[in-house]
Amino acid sequence: MEALAVRLSGLDPHVEGAIRVVTFYDTLMRRRVDLAALARASAGLAECVVGVRLGGTGRAIRLSPEGMDASGPQAPASSTAPVTLDDEEIGTVWLERPGPPNPLDEVLLDRLAIAAAAAVERYGPARTTMADPALVELAISADSEEAARARALRLLGFAADLPVRVVAVRARLPLDRIGGLICPARPVKAAPLAGVGVLLATTVDRSAFPAGVRAGIGAAGSPDRSWREARTALRFATAGRPVVPYDELGALALLAQVPQDAVRDNPDVAAVAALADDPEGLETLDAYCSTGSLRRAADLLHLHHSSVARRIEHLGKGMDIDLTGPSGLIRARLALTAWRLLDD
């Protein structure tokens, strides 16, 4: 191939460059990279912002030459090409090059469109965020060697310099749908693991989690630590607070490390456990602990504050805790949280 390029370059100075572009994309396709990795590699090759959009999902990816999400509004496309699969146009690829187009831009976009179609055919538009569970486990396991972890992340499409955040999820919704919502335009991978949904993402939009999903979000950084944090945070997720970032737990995270036998033997926790057969009482205690105010708890429960006050007084007597005082409220909050962590 290189010898042919040298001979042809004597006739056309752009032929050798074009052949190198074709070889570049052939290599990416052999490695079975996904759309995010394909766009990242293309942006580095083109030395300008590259965009990929699929019409069926509306998903758009814009990456800078540094491999990061292209910030700011989309610039006018300097060159575009359709992505075609089975004679059907399924999307578009484009370059946002300032100034005149590069002589090789047409070849680059043509090969990018072909590679994008191959990626869609391989993974399917609805499964582009799904990944091999074994590969995800290798990326987040505390037992993985760093070289193996780095290779797994690279195969999943994450650049070495990109921070990776792990999310632990419990939901009936498909994981790829959740991943597409919380990280629509940057790398995200999903897989079920040990009864929990795992999402690996470079950014997480906390406000985008759909209803019915409970999630724990680990801090960005080492994936194994982020996974451990995400699982801990998931244990604190409730109907009232379904999405819990680990870094907002603070000292509460220490409760997850207390042995469960010690938690069960605690009188305050035992008093909360006794309320398990009293949904109304448990709901009232939860609202009061969450708000710290009789009036705000009454608003939450759609009751008059005097009715809530009577319930709290009754609950306090049964628990042998003065719930109206600051220390009693703290004890109730800790006991309620610790009780929820039991057998979770």
Same domain, 41 and 116: yes
Final residue before a domain boundary, out of 95, 127, 159 = 127
User: At 122, which CATH number?
Assistant: 3.30.450
Same domain assignment for residues 156 and 195: yes
Instruction: Give the domain CATH number at 308.
Output: 1.10.10.2840
- Average pLDDT score over residue span 283-293: 91
- Assess whether 249 and 262 both reside in one domain: no
Is 155 found in the same domain as 123?
no
Judged against a pLDDT cut of 80, whether residue 192 lies above it is answered with: yes
Average pLDDT score, the chain: 87
C-beta separation of 119 from 38 below 8 A: yes
Same domain as 262, residue 247: no
User: How far apart, in whole angstroms, are the C-alpha atoms of residue 140 and residue 135?
Assistant: 9
Q: Of the candidates 76, 104, 127, which is a domain's last residue?
A: 127
pLDDT class of 160 with cuts at 50, 70, 90:
confident
pTM: 0.61
Residues 160 and 233 in one domain: yes
* pLDDT single digits (tens) 14-52: 777 888 899 999 999 988 888 888 999 999 999 999 999
Tokens of 264: 């069960």
Same domain, 8 and 110: yes
Residue positions counted in the chain: 344
The pLDDT value given to residue 10: 46
Per the structure, how many domains does the chain have?
Answer: 3
What pLDDT was estimated at residue 51?
93
109 and 53, same structural domain?
A: yes
Q: Are 3 and 19 in contact (CB under 8 A)?
A: no
Q: Which amino acid, 162?
A: L
> Do residues 191 and 217 share a domain?
yes
Is residue 30 domain-shared with residue 12, that is, in the same domain? yes
pLDDT score for 317: 93
- 35 and 143 assigned to the same domain: no
Domain closes at, from 196, 231, 255: 255
Same-domain status, 142 and 251: yes
List the one residue out of 233, 252, 255 whose CA is nearest residue 170.
233
- Give me the domain span that covers residue 29: 2-127
pLDDT for res 313: 93
At 158 the pLDDT is 83
